[in-house]
C-alpha cells in the first residue's frame, strides 16, 4: 500500500470550521456533474484500473453490494449500476491510502479530537489493531491476540453481562450480524443497540402495529406500475440517488409524483439521468408534479386531512371510493377511524401544515384518481416526536383504497444503511421475539436471555449512569450519530473499555473509555479468503431481497481480519470453553456457509439459504401483506388506527429546525465539505432559513449566528458560528447538518414509542454570533 500520509492536500487544519461559500441552489440533480463528481474521487483514491474493476462490479449479480444505501437493484442491470454517492463510498473504502504505524505516536487523542470527521476519514484505511492503555493519551499498536485478551478479560470481569453493550452498524453483513448476536446472547445479554434505533425504528414499530411487519410492502418493479407516488420527508437525489432512475421510469409509464418536504430539493424537481442522452445534453425528467412545502411536524395533519377527504368522497358516492371488499375482508377499525376523522379541525390542519386548503385538495384529488398508490418516506418522518402515529396514518390512507398487497401500490420506507434491515432480521435487536430466541435455543443448545436489553439512547443513559462498563461497536460512529453530543461523549468516557471495529478513523475512536481498542476490519469491497477459500457475505435490501456480495480487490493489508473472523475470535476468547451450547466459532470463521446453514435452521424464511442465495440475484423473503394480503397481527387483520393530532406551536421569534445530510455525506461519513445541490462549498457550519424569516429576525444572509434550542428542561444547548443561508424552505422552518447540530437535541427528546432521537421539529432561536465573519 502506498503511504501518502504526509501529503493530504487539505485546505485547512482539519478542524472543519472554515467558512462556507454559498451559491444558488441547483434546479436539477445528476447530469454530467454527477459523472465528474463520481469519477474524480474514484480516480484520485483508487486509480484507473482499480476504479474500473470496482465500479463495474458494484451492485451486479456477481459483484459486491454498495454500502451507501439499501435501495434495491433492478432485475435487468446496466453495466454501470451505481450512483455518484455509491462511487464515493467505494472510493472512500477502497482507497490505497493507509494509516501508517507512526501516526499513532505522532497524534495524541487530544489532538485528534480537534480534527473534523472529514479530516479523520481522509487519513486512510486502518490496518493494525491499536490499544489505548489506561492513563495514556495515545493509541499504540497491539497484536490481534493481545487485543482479544484485553477485551475478553474486561468482559469476564463484569459483575453482570448486562454491564456490556454491543452496537451494530447497518453495513454489517448477515453472516457477521448473526454470529455477533449469537455471541452476545451466549455471553448473557440482549444489549444489542444498533443504528436502526436512530433512523427507521419508528417505521418498524408503526408498521408492525398496523400490518404486522415492519418492512416495505413494495418491490422495485412496483414503482413503474404505480399511478401515484407520494414522497414524504425524503431527499432521494442525495441520500439514495439510484431511486431517481426508478422515479424517472415511473413518470415515463404515466405515474404522477408528489413531493412533501419543507425544503426544495434538486432531485425532487428534475433529474438528468447521466446514462441517457437527454440526461447529458437535454432537459432531463421533471419529477414532482406537485411540491408541498409542508411545515415541520405537519405530516400527520396532512395525512389525516387526505384520509378525511377520501371518507367524505365515499359518503358522497357510497361504495365507489373505498375498497370495501378489501376493508371488510382484511381490515378492522374503519368505523372508529371514520368517526374520529369526522371531527378533524380544518383550521388545525392548515396551521399544522402551513399549506393552503387548495394544495391539500389537489393532493386528495390525485389520490382519489389513482388506482395504485405508493407512499415512500425516510427520516424526515421517522425522527419526529410523533413519528410513530404519523407512519400509522400513512398505513391508514393506503388501507382505505386497498393500496397494500397489489402491484404498483404499498408502503415504501427507504432505509439508508445497506444492511440495516438484514441485521434486524438476523437478530440485532434488544427485544427479539420469543420465537427467535426459542429457535436459537433449539439450534445451539443454550437458553438465550429473555429480558429485553437496551437500545442506543438507553446505552448512552446506561454509560452515563455507570451501568454500562464495556462498549463494543461492530462498525458505526455512535457518538457522532446520536443526539445530545456533550452528554453522549461524557457517557462514553465513563466506561472501562471501548472497542471499535472499523475500516476508517472517526470521532468514536477518540471519545474513549479508560482503555480503548480499535480493531481494523476488511471492507465489503475486499476479497475475503479464509481457510476453506474465498468467502462471500449476504445482505437484505429495503424491499426484502437477499443477495450475495463478494469483494473484488485485495485487502488494504494482509493483517486485516473480516468482521466474521473478529467476532468468532472474540467469542472464543471471551466465552468459557465449557460455556453454553455447542457453537463452532472456529468453523464460522473457516467457512461462512456454516453460518448460513444455522441461519436457515433458525429463520424459516431462509430455508435452503446456501443454494438460494447462489442463484443470480438471490431471493426475496416472503411477506404476507405484500404477497397474499395476509396480515400477521394478533387479529389476522390490518388495523386502522386512531391517532390524536397535536399541533406544535412555534412562538414569535422562534423557528423549527430539522437536521439533514449534505450531498457529500453518508450518515456521519463526510466525503467533502460541499453540498453541491444546495449551493454550499467548503464548509458545513450553515443554517438554511427562509428569506422572509431572516427579514423578520433582522438577520441578513451571510450573518454568523448562534443557534440555541429551547426545551422544557431549561438547559441552554447551543452551537455557535453558523452562517445564515437564505434558502427556499417552508416559512418558520430551518435546517442544519447533522452531526454538527446534534448538540441541540436532548438525549431524552425521542419519538414516542420508538425511542428514536427526535432530530426534527426542534424549537430554536437565532442570536448574532460573537464570532466575526
Q: What is the pLDDT of residue 7?
A: 28
Of the CA atoms within 13 Å of residue 379, those in its CB half-sphere come to 23
pLDDT single digits (tens) 347-400: 999 999 999 999 999 999 999 999 999 999 999 999 999 999 999 999 999 999
Query: Where residue 408 falls among pLDDT bands split at 50, 70, 90?
Result: very high
What is the mean pLDDT of the segment spanning 334-342? 98
pLDDT at 625 over 90: yes
pLDDT single digits (tens) 717-758: 999 999 999 999 999 999 999 999 999 999 999 999 999 999
CA–CA distance, 41 with 744 (Å, rounded to integer): 33
Q: What is the pLDDT of residue 15?
A: 55
CA–CA distance, 472 with 512 (Å, rounded to integer): 11
pLDDT at 615 over 70: yes
- Judge contact between 762 and 685, C-beta under 8 A: no
The dihedral through the CA atoms of 234, 237, 238, 240 has a sign that is positive
pLDDT single digits (tens) 140-151: 999 999 999 999
The residue written with cell numbers 449469537 in the block is: 182
pLDDT at 9 over 70: no
| Closest-CA residue to 6 (of 109, 116, 124) | 124
Q: What is the pLDDT of residue 343?
A: 97
| Closest-CA residue to 8 (of 115, 94, 141, 101) | 115
pLDDT single digits (tens) 81-108: 778 888 888 888 889 999 999 999 999 9
pLDDT at 579 over 80: no
| Closest-CA residue to 59 (of 684, 415, 552, 591) | 552
Q: What is the pLDDT of residue 5?
A: 33
- Judge contact between 178 and 361, C-beta under 8 A: no
Q: What is the pLDDT of residue 421?
A: 93
- Judge contact between 574 and 187, C-beta under 8 A: yes
| Closest-CA residue to 506 (of 14, 8, 117) | 117
What is the mean pLDDT of the segment spanning 138-165? 98
pLDDT at 771 over 70: no
Query: Where residue 772 falls among pLDDT bands split at 50, 70, 90?
Result: low
Helices (H) and strands (E) in the chain, counts: 32, 31
- When the pLDDT of each residue in the chain is averaged and rounded to a whole number, the result is 93
pLDDT single digits (tens) 529-552: 999 999 999 999 989 999 999 999
pLDDT single digits (tens) 368-382: 999 999 999 999 999
In sequence order, the 6+-apart residues with CB closer than 8 A to the CB of 751 are: 201, 202, 382, 383, 384, 385, 386, 387, 388, 757, 758
The residue written with cell numbers 420508538 in the block is: 754
Query: Where residue 573 falls among pLDDT bands split at 50, 70, 90?
Result: very high
| Closest-CA residue to 74 (of 174, 222, 214, 216) | 222
Does the pTM surpass 0.75? The reply is: yes
CA distances from 335 to 316, 327, 342, 640, 693 (A): 16, 11, 11, 9, 43
pLDDT single digits (tens) 261-302: 999 999 999 999 998 888 888 899 999 999 999 999 999 999
Q: What is the pLDDT of residue 550?
A: 92
pLDDT at 321 over 80: yes
Say how far residue 740 (Cα) sits from the centre of its chain: 17
Query: Where residue 3 falls among pLDDT bands split at 50, 70, 90?
Result: very low
- Judge contact between 288 and 378, C-beta under 8 A: no
Query: What backbone torsions phi and psi does residue 636 show, to the nearest 5 degrees?
Result: 80, 5
Locate 491 and state its grid cell.
457517557
pLDDT single digits (tens) 409-452: 999 999 877 889 999 999 999 999 999 999 999 999 999 999 99
Q: What is the pLDDT of residue 458?
A: 98
Percent of the chain with pLDDT over 90: 83
In sequence order, the 6+-apart residues with CB closer than 8 A to the CB of 178 are: 426, 427, 595, 598, 599, 602
Q: What is the pLDDT of residue 314?
A: 97
What is the mean pLDDT of the segment spanning 210-237? 96
pLDDT at 67 over 90: no
pLDDT at 491 over 90: yes
In sequence order, the 6+-apart residues with CB closer than 8 A to the CB of 172 are: 180, 419, 423, 428, 474, 475, 563
Say how far residue 262 (Cα) sits from the centre of its chain: 20
Burial 739-762 (b: 16+ CB within 10 A, else e): bbbbbbbbbebbbebbbbbbbbbb
CA–CA distance, 199 with 542 (Å, rounded to integer): 13
Of the CA atoms within 13 Å of residue 223, those in its CB half-sphere come to 25
Query: What backbone torsions phi and psi does residue 28 show, to the nearest 5 degrees?
Result: -155, 165
Amino acid at each position: 500500500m502506498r503511504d501518502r500520509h504526509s501529503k493530504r492536500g487539505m485546505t485547512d487544519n482539519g478542524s472543519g470550521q472554515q467558512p462556507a461559500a454559498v451559491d444558488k441552489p441547483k434546479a436539477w440533480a445528476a447530469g454530467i456533474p454527477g459523472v465528474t463528481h463520481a469519477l474524480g474521487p474514484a480516480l484520485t483514491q483508487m486509480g484507473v484500473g482499480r476504479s474500473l474493476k470496482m465500479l463495474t462490479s458494484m451492485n451486479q449479480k456477481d459483484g459486491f453490494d454498495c454500502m451507501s444505501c439499501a435501495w434495491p437493484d433492478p432485475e435487468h442491470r446496466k453495466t454501470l449500476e451505481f450512483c455518484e454517492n455509491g462511487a464515493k463510498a467505494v472510493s472512500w473504502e477502497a482507497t490505497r491510502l493507509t494509516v501508517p504505524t507512526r501516526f499513532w505516536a505522532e497524534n495524541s487523542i487530544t489532538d485528534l479530537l480537534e480534527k473534523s470527521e472529514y479530516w479523520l476519514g481522509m487519513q486512510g484505511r486502518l490496518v493494525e489493531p491499536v490499544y489505548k492503555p489506561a492513563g495514556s493519551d495515545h493509541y499504540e499498536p497491539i497484536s490481534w491476540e493481545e487485543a482479544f485478551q484485553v477485551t475478553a478479560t474486561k468482559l469476564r470481569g463484569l459483575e453482570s453481562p448486562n454491564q456490556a453493550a454491543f452496537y451494530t452498524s447497518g453495513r454489517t453483513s448477515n453472516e457477521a450480524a448473526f454470529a455477533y448476536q449469537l455471541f452476545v446472547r451466549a455471553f448473557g445479554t440482549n444489549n444489542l443497540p444498533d443504528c436502526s434505533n436512530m433512523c427507521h425504528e419508528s417505521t418498524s414499530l408503526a408498521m408492525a402495529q398496523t400490518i404486522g411487519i415492519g418492512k416495505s410492502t413494495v418491490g422495485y418493479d412496483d414503482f413503474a406500475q404505480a399511478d401515484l407516488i407520494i414522497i414524504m420527508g425524503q431527499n432521494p437525489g442525495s441520500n439514495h440517488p439510484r431511486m431517481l432512475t426508478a422515479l424517472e421510469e415511473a413518470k415515463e409509464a404515466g405515474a404522477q409524483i408528489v413531493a412533501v418536504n419543507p425544503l426544495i430539493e434538486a432531485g425532487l424537481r428534475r433529474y438528468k439521468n447521466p446514462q441517457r442522452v437527454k440526461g447529458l445534453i437535454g432537459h432531463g425528467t421533471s419529477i414532482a408534479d406537485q411540491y408541498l412545502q409542508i411545515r415541520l411536524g405537519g405530516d400527520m395533519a396532512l395525512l389525516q386531512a387526505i384520509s378525511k377527504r377520501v371518507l367524505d368522497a365515499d359518503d358522497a358516492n357510497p361504495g365507489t371510493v373505498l375498497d370495501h371488499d378489501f376493508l371488510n375482508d382484511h381490515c378492522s377499525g374503519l368505523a372508529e377511524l371514520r368517526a374520529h376523522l369526522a371531527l378533524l379541525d380544518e383550521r388545525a390542519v392548515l396551521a399544522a401544515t402551513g399549506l393552503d386548503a387548495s394544495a391539500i385538495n389537489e393532493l386528495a384529488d390525485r389520490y382519489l384518481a389513482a388506482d395504485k398508490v405508493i407512499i415512500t418516506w425516510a427520516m424526515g418522518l421517522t425522527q419526529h416526536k410523533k413519528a410513530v402515529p404519523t407512519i400509522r396514518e400513512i398505513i391508514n390512507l393506503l388501507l382505505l383504497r386497498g393500496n397494500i398487497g397489489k402491484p404498483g401500490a404499498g408502503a415504501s420506507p427507504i432505509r439508508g444503511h445497506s444492511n440495516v434491515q438484514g441485521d434486524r432480521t438476523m437478530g440485532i435487536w434488544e427485544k427479539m421475539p420469543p420465537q427467535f430466541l426459542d429457535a436459537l435455543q433449539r439450534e445451539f443448545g443454550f437458553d438465550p436471555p429473555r429480558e429485553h436489553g437496551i437500545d442506543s439512547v438507553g446505552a448512552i443513559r446506561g454509560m452515563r449512569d455507570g451501568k454500562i462498563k464495556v462498549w463494543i461497536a461492530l462498525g458505526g460512529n455512535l457518538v457522532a450519530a446520536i443526539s445530545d453530543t456533550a452528554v453522549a461523549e461524557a457517557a462514553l468516557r465513563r466506561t472501562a473499555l471501548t472497542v471499535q471495529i472499523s475500516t476508517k478513523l472517526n470521532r468514536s475512536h477518540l471519545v474513549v473509555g479508560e482503555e480503548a481498542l480499535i480493531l481494523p476490519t476488511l471492507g465489503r469491497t475486499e476479497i475475503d479468503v479464509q481457510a476453506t477459500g474465498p468467502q462471500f457475505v449476504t445482505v437484505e435490501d429495503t424491499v426484502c431481497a437477499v443477495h450475495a456480495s463478494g469483494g473484488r480487490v485485495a485487502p488494504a493489508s494482509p493483517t486485516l481480519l473480516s468482521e466474521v473472523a473478529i467476532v468468532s475470535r472474540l467469542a472464543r476468547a471471551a466465552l468459557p470453553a465449557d460455556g453454553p451450547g455447542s457453537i463452532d466459532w472456529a468453523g464460522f470463521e473457516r467457512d461462512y456457509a456454516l453460518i448460513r446453514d444455522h441461519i436457515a435452521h433458525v429463520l424459516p424464511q431462509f430455508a435452503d439459504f446456501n443454494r438460494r442465495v447462489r442463484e443470480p440475484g438471490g431471493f426475496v423473503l416472503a411477506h404476507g401483506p405484500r404477497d397474499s394480503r395476509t396480515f400477521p397481527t394478533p387479529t389476522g387483520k390490518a388495523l386502522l388506527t386512531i391517532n390524536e393530532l397535536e399541533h406544535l406551536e412555534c412562538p414569535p421569534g422562534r423557528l423549527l429546525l430539522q437536521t439533514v445530510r449534505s450531498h457529500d455525506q453518508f450518515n456521519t461519513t463526510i466525503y467533502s465539505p460541499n453540498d453541491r445541490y444546495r449551493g454550499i462549498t467548503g464548509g458545513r457550519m450553515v443554517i438554511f432559513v427562509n428569506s422572509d424569516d431572516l427579514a423578520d429576525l433582522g438577520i441578513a444572509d451571510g450573518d454568523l449566528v448562534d443557534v440555541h434550542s429551547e426545551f422544557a428542561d431549561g438547559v441552554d444547548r447551543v452551537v455557535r458560528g453558523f452562517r445564515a443561508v437564505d434558502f427556499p424552505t417552508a416559512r418558520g422552518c430551518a435546517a442544519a447538518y447533522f452531526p454538527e447540530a446534534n448538540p441541540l437535541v436532548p438525549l431524552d427528546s425521542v419519538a414516542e414509542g420508538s425511542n428514536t432521537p427526535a432530530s426534527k421539529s426542534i424549537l430554536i432561536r437565532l442570536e448574532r454570533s460573537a464570532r466575526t465573519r
